[in-house]
Each structure stands twice: as C-alpha cells, then as structure tokens.
Amino acid sequence: MNDPSQTHANVPPVLRVAAGEDQYGEYRGLGVSYIAFKVCPPDSNGVLVLENTFHAKGGPVRHLHYDQDEWFYAVEGQFIIEIGQERITLNPGDSVFAPRKIPHVWAHIGETKGRMLIAFMPAGKMVAFFREVTKANAMPPQDPELLRAHGMELLGPPLSIK
C-alpha cells in the first residue's frame, strides 16, 4: 500500500532548502554567477526550481528550449530579458514567463548582487545540463552540440552589457 506521506518514491513530503544552500549541498559555479538547486525533481517530468545568484554582470547565450517553459522571478538586483521580440527590465518582485520554443536571453545588469529564481517545466534534461556545465565553474561554452544534447538550441551570443 502507498504511504500517503510520500509524494513520490524516495521524496520526502516536505523539502526545506536553507537560504543560500543547494538541495544537495553542492556548489554550482557559472562564472559570473552560481546556481543552487532548490527543487530538483525525481524525474524529467517534474519541475526544476533553481536560484541563480550573480556577483558580476552578464548572463547566458540566446537560446530556446524545445520542451521546457521557463519562469523567471527577480529577487534582488536588476535584469534585462528578451523573450521573442520583447525586451523587459525585471526589478525585484517582477516575474516573466518564457514559453518553450521561443528564443530568450537575459543578463544581470545591476551594480550590486543579483538573484533570480528560475523554474523549468518540465525539467527535461536541464538538471543534467546544469550538472555538466557547472563542473568548469565558468560560463558554459557557446557549443551548439552541448545545448542540442540537452534539448536546447543556441541562437546567439549573450546580451552585450555596458
């Protein structure tokens, strides 16, 4: 008989991840920022939530996800995000939704620390992607094959930050 206190096999009904911590207690550097897995699903169908903390200006390459919708919530600092043809400034408390198959790119543009929550629905291959690219503690290479292997398409460079 199923234990109703378990939402998924081997996943506790309550998952608490402390401020500034990763669900697995690991450091995941991306050069200008680092990420912490806050909610990591037991399979590729669940939702992945990560916290992206920036100590310098910048962000990822322009890309799209074939199978993931992506949601961004600015916690601290200021960000510019382009989704399709729209360019939006995100300030603390602002959020925006980027549907799958729509090109997007963003960057932290503030003078102080920036923090953003990002959710991927469904997680797909994003957990594997972030585990791979954070090994180098640098911005992921602009490698179309790396992105394609994880369900994304490279469409251009990062945003130019002045």
Residue 153 CB partners (closer than 8 Å, separation 6+): 63, 64, 66, 144, 147
Boundaries of every domain in the chain: 28-153
Cis peptide bond prior to 99, omega within 30° of 0: no
**87/9 Cα distance (integer angstroms):** 41
- Rounded to the nearest integer, the mean pLDDT of the chain is 91
At the fourth CATH level, the homologous superfamily of domain 28-153 is: Jelly Rolls (2.60.120.10)
Task: Give this prediction's pTM.
Answer: 0.89
Query: 3-state class of 133 per DSSP?
Result: helix
Query: 3-state class of 16 per DSSP?
Result: coil
Tell me: the pLDDT tens digits for 77-129? 999 999 999 999 999 999 999 999 999 999 999 999 999 999 999 999 999 99
Tell me: the pLDDT tens digits for 25-59? 999 999 999 999 999 998 999 999 999 999 999 99
pLDDT category at 10 given cuts 50, 70, 90 is low
Tell me: the pLDDT tens digits for 56-78? 999 999 999 999 999 999 999 99
Amino acid 160 reads S
- DSSP secondary structure of 30-55: -SSEEEEEEE--SSTTS-EEEEEEES
> 39 φ, ψ to 5°?
-135, 110
Query: Given this model, what pLDDT does residue 12 score?
Result: 59
Q: Side by side, which strands form the sheet with 33-39?
A: 28-29, 33-39, 48-54, 114-121, 69-76, 95-98
Is-contact 98 62, C-beta < 8 A?
no
